[in-house]
Amino acid sequence: MASAAEQLAANLNFSAFSKASELKQRIWFTLGALLVYRLGTYIPMPGINPSALAEVFRHQSTGIIGLFNMFSGGAVGRMAIFALAIMPYISASIIVQLMTTVSPHLEALKKEGEQGRKIINQYTRYGTVLLATIQAYGIAAGLEGQANVVVDPGWFFKISTVITLTGGTMFLMWLGEQITARGIGNGISLIIFAGIVAELPMAIAGTLELSRQGALSTGVILAIIVMAIGVIAFIVFMERAQRRLLIQYPKRQVSQNRMTGGESSHLPLKLNTASVIPPIFASSLLLLPTTIANFSAGGSGPAWLGAVTTYLAHGRPLYMVLYVALIVFFSFFYTAIVFNPQETADNLKKYGGFIPGIRPGERTAEYIDYVLTRITVVGAAYIALVCVIPEILISYAAVPFYFGGTSLLIVVSVTMDTVAQVQGHLYAAQYEGLIKKARLRGKRK
């Protein structure tokens, strides 16, 4: 006899999707929210000379500003109201999560459950406003340092730029939360995903134009296509990889002639528990000190800003070393945040489950932590490999960032997570349908 899960999977088809009214509403809401985001990337800031800005961006598009432009969906190149994108929020999240490990107050809030999480989220919003304000002021000062980019330089332009860019970031943060709550989930990741995918056709057209002009040979383009396909296949394989720990449940006698339990199941541990968070966090931290530097390097900024831009350029050894180090760090850090071995071991002990050969309780927690650490080493190495090797090739071949490992990892991982979210809603809708049918049959009898 088929299990309930197998029955649900067998009944999932287009008719099941058409009957899932709540899922359709969530999908339409998500698409509408992403459309609003894309429209915002085309609304320019006031007081900017578009032709002069395009000339400045053309000379700096191959550096860190080009990567920032990729995460913002092209808003930086157009200096739109969403030019800061969601990066200040990500940076604030990093800082707050790091503080939870050293601040007793934040650590106590984290243990309070939903109420404590709301307070921590509020702190993150305050940090987002602060970081966005600092970055927006730096961008305003940097734009004034470029010749003819700002129509009317002065404090009015600085204040209006800070208000516009900070407001755009806060709106995107709110929009991401709405997608998570009322859409199909992963709001922040979907916003970054939408920005990358929307600019991908232009990146392909630009690459073909470079080939037509002779800047890129046909062999290099074919190698990039093969590399992209290979990286995508590798990402899919690694993202689906799991280490399953056998969990055994003892038999229990519930009556004189009836025994329950004695079943076995698995505790799945993903190879990459942190998903796309490490490269996004690493990129945002590398972007934070160099966003202002790239705008000020050609203007009146101090000399050390130009040195920062030079040393943290793509393909340079310092950038690659810091990138790999941050990816590895955030792989372990975020895994430790989202998965608690002690809590998992306590839950297993509570329900009578145990790992064969391992004593329940503290020894089980130590064993789970041991296994999780080992697979996180492999997961961190996989993310670093996927993100760094294509970036090195791109830095020497002058190919757009959209074909890099970071962008491909984000696109593939977010796509897989979104499909899983949709399948989960379909399972829920189908399960509700089966319950209703069972109730109707019971009433007829």
Query: Are the beta carbons of 91 and 131 closer than 8 angstroms?
Result: yes
Q: What string of pLDDT tens digits covers the 445 residues of the chain?
A: 344 444 444 445 556 666 777 888 888 999 999 999 999 999 888 888 888 888 777 766 655 566 677 777 778 788 888 988 888 888 888 788 878 877 888 888 877 777 888 888 899 999 999 999 988 888 888 788 777 888 888 889 889 999 999 999 999 999 999 998 898 878 888 898 888 888 777 777 777 777 777 777 777 778 778 887 888 888 889 888 888 888 887 766 555 555 555 677 888 888 888 888 888 778 777 766 665 555 554 445 566 666 666 676 666 778 888 889 999 998 998 888 888 888 888 888 888 888 888 888 889 889 999 999 999 999 999 999 888 876 776 666 656 555 566 778 888 888 888 888 888 777 777 766 666 666 666 666 5
Structure-token pair, residue 36: 């609003």
Cα–Cα dist 184/31, whole Å: 10
**Closest alpha carbon to 173 in 130, 141, 125, 137:** 125
Report residue 382 as tokens.
């996989």
Q: Distance between CA 15 and CA 388 in Å, rounded?
A: 43
User: What 3-state class would DSSP assign to 308?
Assistant: helix
pLDDT score, position 3: 42
Domains with residue ranges and CATH for the chain? 4-444 (1.10.3370.10)
Helices and strands counted in the chain (H then E): 18, 4
Containing 260, the helix (H) or strand (E) segment is strand 258-261
- All residues at 6 or more sequence positions from 418 whose CB lies less than 8 Å from its CB, including other chains: 184, 185, 186, 190
DSSP string, 166-202: HHHHHHHHHHHHHHHHHSSS-HHHHHHHHHHHHHHHH
How many CB atoms are located within 10 Å of the residue 254 CB? Answer: 9
Cα separation, 164 vs 159, in Å, equals: 9
222 burial (CB, 10 Å; 0-12 / 13-18 / 19+) is exposed
